Amino acid sequence: MQMDLSFGAREFVVDVVTEKRKRLSVTVHPDLRITAKAPAGYELEVIRQRLEKRASWIARQLDFFERFQPLPTERKFVSGETHYYLGRQYRLRIRPGEKARVRLIGRFFEMELPDTSNREKARALMLDWYSAHAKDLLSRRLAQYVPTFERMGAVVPEVRYRRMKKRWGSCSGKSVIMLNTELVKAPIHCIDYVIIHELCHLLYPHHDRKFYHLLGRILPDWEKRKERLEKVVI
C-alpha cells in the first residue's frame, strides 16, 4: 500500500508493507523511492503517525540523494568506461589476448580477452576480480578489529561474503556477518565503518542508544564516514 506524506511544501509517497517484526523501519533509496516496513499488527493510522514523525528525516534524505540524480547508467564493460576501487576511479582498457584476465596497472583496469566484443565475459571477469580482492581485503580489515570486540565479550563471528545490491553488510542473531563484496569500491575508512558497524551488532543487535554509544566511542566520526559511503557508485 502507499501513503501520501508532506513536509513543508514537499510531498512524497511511501510504499508500506507489513510483516512480522517489532519496529517500523523507513528507507530512502538512491533512486528516490521511499519504502517502509511496519509490524503486522499496526493500524493504518498508527503507521501514518510514525511516518509523519520521520517526515523531516525523509525530506533530508531526499535532498541528499537528489544531488546525485540522474543515477549512473548501468555498466557496459567496454573500453574507456570508469570503474572504482578503494574510492578511486580507473579506466577500463580491453585488449586482445590468449588468456582472459584483469590486472590493475597504474590508473587502468587492463583486461585481456580472446574476443574483445564479448561483454558478458568482460563483466564476469570484472566481478570475479572484485570478489577475489574483496574477500582478501575485508578479511584483513576484520582481523584488525575482531580482537577488540572479543575483549568486550563478543563471540568471534562467522563471516560470509557476497555481492549485494541493497546492503553493505548485515549481522544475524547467530553471529553471522555478511559483507558486500562491492565494498572494495569504497575508500578504506568507509569499509572500516561498515565492518565496525556490523561488529557492534554482535553486542547490541538493535540500533538503540547503547549501539550508537559504542559505535561513537570506537568511531567518533562514523557519521562522516557513512555520508561518504552513500556517495559510492556501485
Say which residue the cell 561488529 belongs to.
Answer: 199
211 within 8 A of 201, measured Cβ to Cβ: yes
Say what percent of the chain tops pLDDT 90: 72
CA 232 vs CA 68, 104, 191: distances in Å? 10, 19, 11
* Largest Cα span, the chain: 64
From CA 201, how far away is CA 193, in angstroms rounded? 13
Q: What is the pLDDT of residue 71?
A: 53
- Residue 230 pLDDT > 90, yes or no? no
The pLDDT assigned to 232 comes to 78
- Which domains does the chain carry? 2-66 (no CATH), 82-131 (no CATH), 136-229 (3.30.2010.10)
For residue 22, give the C-alpha cell.
517489532
Q: Amino acid identity, residue 35? A: T
φ/ψ (deg, to 5) at 157: -80, 155
Q: What's residue 165's pLDDT? A: 80
Q: Collapsing DSSP states into helix, strand and coil, what is residue 13?
A: strand
**Quick one: pLDDT at residue 164?**
87
Mean pLDDT to the nearest integer, 12-25 = 91
Tell me how many degrees the CA angle 156-158-164 measures, rounded to the nearest 5.
135
Give mean pLDDT, residues 23-36. 88
Amino acid 60: pLDDT: 87
Residue 68: pLDDT band (50, 70, 90) is low
pLDDT, the chain, mean = 91
According to the model, what pLDDT value does residue 70 have?
A: 54
- Identify the band that residue 228 occupies on the pLDDT scale cut at 50, 70 and 90: confident
Q: In what order do the strands lie in the sheet with 2-7?
A: 2-7, 10-19, 34-39, 25-28
Check whether 86 has a pLDDT greater than 60. Answer: yes
